[in-house]
A and B are shown apart, each in its own frame.
Chain A
Amino acid sequence: MRKVLLLLVGLVLLMPLLTGCIRIRQSDEIQEAKWIKLYGDLRERMGRLEEKVARLEEAVESGAVVVRKGENKSSAASLFKKPKVKYGGVLRIVQPTDPPTLDPAHVTDSTSSFVCMQIYEGLVELGPDLKVRPAIAERWEIKENGTTYVFHLRRGVKFHTGREVTAKDFLYSYLRILDPKTKSERTWLFENVLGYDVFKAYRKLYIALKDWINTSKETAPAGVKEALAEFSKISDDELKRIGDDVFNFTKEVLPEVVKAVNQNDFGKAKVCFEKIDSWFDLKKIMAKGFEVPDDYTFIIRLKQPFAPFLAVLTMVNAAVVDKDTIEKYGEDWSNEHPVGTGPFKLKEWKHDVRIVLEANKDYWRGRPYVDEVLIRIIKDEVTSFTEFEVGNVDIHPGVPDSKYKYVKKHPVLSKCYQEKPSLSVFYIGFNCKKYPLNIKKLRQALAYAVDKEKIVEKVREGRAVVARGIIPPGLPGANPDVQNYPYNPDLAKKLLAEAGFPGGVGLPVIDLWYNTSERNARIAEVVQYYFKKIGVKVRLNNVDWGTYLKKLDSGECQMFRLGWIADYPDAENFLYILFHSKNAGANGNHTFYSNSEVDKILDEARREVDFNKRVKLYQKAEKMIMDDAPWIPMFHNKDIILYQPYVKGVELTPMGADHIRLRSVWLDK
Chain B
Amino acid sequence: MLAYIIRRILLSIPVLIGVSLITFFLTQVGGDPVRIMMGQHADKDVIAQIRHELHLDEPLWKQYLYFLHDFFTGKLRSFKTKRPVWDHLKERFPYTLSLAILSIIIATIIGVSAGIISAVKRGSWFDNLAMLASMIGISTPVYLIGLVFILLFIKKLGWIHGVGVWDAWLEVDLGSIVVQIWFPLCILLPAITLGAQPAAFIARITRSSMLEVVKQDYIRTARAKGVPEREVVLKHALRNALIPVITVLGLEFAYLLGGAVLTETVYAWPGLGTMAVQAFRDRDIPMIQGTVLFIAFTFVFMNLIVDVLYSWIDPRIRYD
Q: Which residues of A contact B (CB under 8 A)?
A: 16, 20-27, 30, 97-98, 100-101, 103, 106, 108, 180-181, 183, 185, 187-188, 191, 200, 203-204, 207, 331-332, 335, 350-354, 376-380, 382-384, 386-387, 389-390, 392, 544-550, 553, 562, 564, 567, 577, 583, 585-588, 590
Contacts and interface: CB of A to CB of B under 8 A. Distances in A.
Contact of A185 (B32, B37, B88, B282): B37
Interface stretch (B7-15, B17-25, B41-49): B41-49
Contact of B266 (A351, A383, A550): A383
A184 to B, nearest CB: 8
B305 to A, nearest CB: 13
B286 to A, nearest CB: 14
B43 A546 contact: no
Given A546-B283, A549-B36, A390 B162 contact: yes
B242 to A, nearest CB: 13
Contacts of A588: 40-42
A200 B45 contact: yes
A180 B35 contact: no
Contacts of B282: 546
Interface string B146-158: 0100110011001
Contacts of A30: 178
The 5 A-B pairs at the shortest CB distance, nearest first, are namely A546-B31, A352-B270, A21-B182, A378-B268, A392-B162
Contacts of A380: 265-266, 268
Interface of B: 30-33, 35-47, 49-50, 52-54, 80-83, 88, 91-92, 147, 150-151, 154-155, 158, 161-165, 169, 173, 175-182, 184, 265-268, 270, 274-275, 278, 281-283
Contacts of B80: 100
Contact of A546 (B35, B54, B81, B270): B35
A351 B91 contact: yes
Contacts of B43: 187-188, 191, 586-587
Given A16-B182, A101-B81, A376-B164, A547 B30 contact: yes
Contacts of B49: 180, 183, 203, 207
B82 A25 contact: no
A23 B82 contact: no
Contacts of B83: 332, 335
29 contacts: A21-B181, A23-B179, A23-B180, A25-B178, A27-B176, A27-B178, A30-B178, A100-B80, A106-B82, A180-B49, A183-B53, A188-B46, A352-B91, A353-B164, A353-B165, A376-B268, A380-B265, A380-B266, A387-B162, A392-B161, A392-B162, A546-B282, A549-B32, A577-B41, A585-B44, A586-B42, A586-B44, A587-B41, A588-B42
A588 B275 CA distance: 29
A195 to B, nearest CB: 15
Contacts of B278: 97
A550 B154 contact: no
Contacts of A27: 173, 175-178
Contacts of B53: 180-181, 183
Given A25-B180, A377-B268, A546-B31, A185 B38 contact: yes
Contacts of B265: 379-380, 383
A187 B46 contact: yes
A590 B35 CA distance: 14
Contacts of B147: 382
A562 B164 CA distance: 33
Contacts of A390: 154-155, 158, 162
A191 B17 CA distance: 44
Nearest to A204: B45
A62 to B, nearest CB: 51
Contacts of A387: 162-164
A353 B283 CA distance: 23
Contact of A378 (B45, B88, B163, B180): B163
A550 B30 CA distance: 8
B267 A544 contact: no
B36 to A, nearest CB: 5
Nearest to A108: B39
Nearest to B181: A22
Given A203-B49, A548-B31, A550-B31, A20 B36 contact: no
Contacts of A25: 177-180
Contacts of A331: 82
Nearest to A97: B278
Contacts of B150: 383, 386
Contact of B182 (A20, A354, A389): A20
B14 to A, nearest CB: 30
A318 B265 CA distance: 34
A185 B82 contact: no
A628 B177 CA distance: 79
B82 to A, nearest CB: 6
Given A27-B177, A332-B83, A586 B162 contact: no
A21 B181 CA distance: 6
A306 to B, nearest CB: 15
Contact of B268 (A108, A185, A383): A383
A458 to B, nearest CB: 25
Contacts of A335: 83
Given A203-B49, A352-B92, A544 B30 contact: yes
Contact of B42 (A200, A377, A379, A587): A587
A203 B48 CA distance: 11
Contacts of A180: 49, 53
A14 to B, nearest CB: 14
A631 to B, nearest CB: 14
A122 to B, nearest CB: 19
Given A100-B80, A207-B52, A351-B88, 6 more contacts: A108-B39, A378-B163, A383-B163, A383-B265, A387-B163, A586-B47
A545 B280 CA distance: 11
A181 B54 CA distance: 10
Contact of A549 (B35, B82, B155, B161): B35
A384 B182 CA distance: 24
A385 to B, nearest CB: 10
Nearest to A376: B164
Contacts of A549: 31-32, 35-36, 40
Given A25-B177, A550-B30, A183 B50 contact: yes
Contact of A22 (B47, B155, B173, B182): B182
B156 to A, nearest CB: 10
Contacts of A583: 41
Contact of A386 (B31, B47, B151, B165): B151
B278 to A, nearest CB: 8
A586 B49 CA distance: 15
Contacts of A353: 164-165, 270
Given A351-B91, A352-B91, A376-B164, A545 B36 contact: yes
A389 B155 contact: yes
A382 B83 CA distance: 30
A548 B50 CA distance: 20
